[in-house]
Structure 1
């Protein structure tokens, strides 16, 4: 488990009146670590209980099934935070920033999401592992992205296109290219190949330069 991640951060993503006992927190922390390491299907409630230092019955007092425990971890993260690249507060920050140019906006987005995923990558790893197997997760992701993300970011893209700083392509296409490029770096860095000898600052700079200039040598 990342020493930066804490269950307190996860609780901030849920409704304010949600309270957990210390045992329940230990169960969720253990489940996050085991789900992230082994995947949902390979994890067992007995293993989670052992790691949490509680009886297996403690898990079932709070969560009727292993899937209920998974949903308790992932659903708040989807609905209140990830979505999976865009978040409500993040969008507010991006749109309120006085971006003097396209490069400033791209650097802000990349740095902001780098810090977020660095801090929360255990839960994000679980989401990425399980989203393909649970329609409930996919539905929530689609809902949050469509309701809170697409139109706001399209307006930013159109703004920079009108200033002559961005290529004349459909805003949806440009948005997809930005998201997939930045998330490709971040998922590789923190989820798929975290043990490589990464030069983070160099890789961030390469990502920005690719977005600004593409692959063609000028």
Structure 2
């Protein structure tokens, strides 16, 4: 069974969906990921799913409702639990240096995003434009990670390796750099030549020069 098949199986677990609904959702994930929500038509999704366009509207009143039906269970059942559970392996571990912590965070998130690139691309593309998705992200992911990162920031501040600034500011600067890396790779320049190791190292050094201090 492929990674995508496993993803689909987890996505639909516990959902009372017909086979046609599953085909519609899978086709929509592929189309939204490839072209973006605004540029994808329900007719395209219907053709890819092998159903009539009217079938989509029997299950989902609008294209936006279709998007939310894709993202909501993904956010609640897959992304949030996986992010929290898997990210805890990094956030709860006390690395010797802030630099080691950053490398572990980057590697951890990179592996997760590579495995779930289609749905992550949809999230990166649509969260800035869809208020409902932003609220879900805040509820299921951001709020739960903030407390964990705050503790990690305090730890490295005590060690003299992180600037004495409010943890919220440290989180914002770190997250914007790392998320910006993934937006560039998967949304803005998806077809460009990309050396992951080089670009991740540049991003890490950028964060360290802005937030790091000399180790005591």
Q: Determine if the alignment matches structure 1 residue 95 to structure 2 residue 80.
A: no
TM-score normalised to structure 1 length: 0.82
Structure 2 residues without counterparts, runs of 5 or longer: 212-216
Superposed CA deviations along residues 27-70 of structure 1, whole A, max 9, x for unmatched, are: 22211122223332332222211112223344344434322221
Deviation at 1:154, TM superposition (A): 0.5
Aligned partners of 1:97 and 1:20: how far apart in 2?
40
2:125 partner SS: helix
Out of 103-112 and 18-27, give the one that drifted further.
18-27
Aligned partners of 1:5 and 1:28: how far apart in 2?
17
Deviation at 1:115, TM superposition (A): 1.6
Q: Name the structure 1 match of 2:204.
A: 208
Q: Determine if the alignment matches structure 1 residue 197 to structure 2 residue 174.
A: no
Q: Determine if the alignment matches structure 1 residue 124 to structure 2 residue 96.
A: no
Compared CA separation, residues 209 and 133, structure 1 to 2 (3 A):
closer
1:186 to 182, 189, 192: 182
Kindly indicate whether the alpha-carbon contact (under 8 Å) linking 1:117 and 1:190 is maintained by their aligned counterparts in 2: no
Q: Name the structure 1 match of 2:160.
A: 164
1:150 to 141, 146, 149: 146
Structure 1 residues without counterparts, runs of 5 or longer: none
Higher helix share: 2
Q: Determine if the alignment matches structure 1 residue 47 to structure 2 residue 44.
A: yes
Aligned partners of 1:36 and 1:177: how far apart in 2?
27
Kindly indicate whether the alpha-carbon contact (under 8 Å) linking 2:177 and 2:203 is maintained by their aligned counterparts in 1: yes
Q: Name the structure 1 match of 2:214.
A: none
Aligned partners of 2:70 and 2:10: how far apart in 1?
12
Compared CA separation, residues 81 and 105, structure 1 to 2 (3 A):
farther
Deviation at 1:126, TM superposition (A): 2.0
After TM superposition, what 4+ stretches of structure 1 lie above 6 angstroms from structure 2?
none
When the two chains are superposed, the root-mean-square deviation of aligned CA atoms in Å is 2.7
Aligned partners of 1:162 and 1:98: how far apart in 2?
12
Superposed CA deviations along residues 160-210 of structure 1, whole A, max 9, x for unmatched, are: 100111111111111111111111111111221011111111111111222
